[in-house]
Amino acid sequence: MKLKLVELTEPYAKEICDWKYDDEYSIYNYHEWNKASNEKWSITIEDKRKKEFSAVVNDYNNLCGYIRLQDKKEYVLIGIGLKPSLCGQGLGSTLMELLKQKCRELYPNKKITLEVRCFNERAIKCYKRAGFKIKETYKKDTPIGYGKFIRMEFSS
């Protein structure tokens, strides 16, 4: 499947809010659009969405995932989401290449950093294959309670 990055429009953002992951991955589920909007989640705020997010679509402009790039001065913090029905189908490498390419275009001299929950071994393997290295493990408070995370870094 060929993937490309395009603007994350409001209809795409609403679709992401409808995605439902199973089991332990349900922690990645967004609130439904109206609740996320009321709570001012970044994906619902047009300026933030246009500045930080990109949609990942196929040749038919069907939404397959999204990326988020946050400029944190010393580094770029990335976020990645893949449509639940597409997880485990080998698209991670393509998604990571799109993401790294976008980072090189927008932030050529910055480290690329991500954080991932420790239980998400599938994602950690994907990130390692893409050249990310584990830098630290830590706990932090999240909107749904404390979570254990790994910080990974890529230097081009």
CATH code of 78's domain: 3.40.630.30
Q: Domain for residue 153, yes or no?
A: no
Structural domain range at position 73: 4-110
6, 49 Cβ separation under 8 angstroms: no
Report the DSSP pairing between strands 4-7 and 53-57. Answer: antiparallel
Q: What is the pLDDT of residue 146?
A: 84
Q: What predicted TM-score, i.e. pTM, was given to this entire model? A: 0.92
Amino acid (one-letter) located at 108: P
Q: Domain for residue 96, yes or no?
A: yes
Q: What is the pLDDT of residue 156?
A: 59
CA–CA separation, 119 and 148 (whole Å):
8
Q: Domain for residue 13, yes or no?
A: yes
- Which ranges in the chain belong to alpha helices (H)? 10-18, 33-38, 46-52, 92-106, 121-129
Question: CB-hemisphere CA count at 13 Å for 70?
Answer: 11
Q: Domain for residue 49, yes or no?
A: yes
Q: Domain for residue 133, yes or no?
A: no
Q: What is the pLDDT of residue 16?
A: 97
Q: Domain for residue 148, yes or no?
A: no
Q: Give me the number of domains the chain comprises.
A: 1
46, 10 Cβ separation under 8 angstroms: yes
Can you read off the two tokens belonging to residue 79? 């976020």
Give which of 34, 66, 54, 36 is closest to 105, Cα–Cα: 54
Q: Domain for residue 69, yes or no?
A: yes
What is the full per-residue pLDDT of the chain (156 aa) written as tens digits? 899 999 999 999 999 999 999 999 999 999 999 999 999 999 999 999 999 999 999 999 999 999 999 999 999 999 999 999 999 899 999 999 999 999 999 999 899 999 999 999 999 999 999 999 999 999 999 877 789 999 999 965
44 DSSP assignment:
G
Q: Domain for residue 120, yes or no?
A: no
